[in-house]
Amino acid sequence: MQFEGAVIREQGISFAIVIVKRHILDSTHQANEAQGAFRPHFPGLPIVLMGQDARGRATYYGRRDIVDFMANVPIDAVPWKRYTIR
């Protein structure tokens, strides 16, 4: 399985962002499960989920300070990478 994500170090904080389908963010239960599923791939880092609507606008789920920060970062500025789970 593959997924798109990024590790960001900004203002003394390191965190991971993972792209998920937008509907995952509509359910706290599903969002929390998704964060848990990605945790082994980013040990020790807070995980923020990102989903996009039909127009490409990003919505974030996770730690409030990181979500607020990411709301002001253009998606193109994120160093996205493809990860493979074996």
Q: pLDDT digit of tens for each residue in the chain (86 aa)?
A: 899 999 999 889 999 999 999 999 999 999 999 999 999 999 999 999 999 988 989 999 999 999 999 999 999 999 999 999 77
Is residue 58 in a domain? yes
The number of domains in the chain is 1
Question: What residue numbers bound the domain in which 24 lies?
Answer: 8-84
Q: What is the pLDDT of residue 62?
A: 97
Is residue 23 in a domain? yes
**Is there a contact between 83 and 3 (Cβ–Cβ < 8 Å)?**
yes
Is residue 44 in a domain? yes
Is residue 2 in a domain? no
Is residue 29 in a domain? yes
Is residue 1 in a domain? no
Is residue 62 in a domain? yes
Q: Return all residues near 25 (Cβ < 8 A) that are at least 6 apart.
A: 31, 49, 51, 59, 61
Is residue 3 in a domain? no
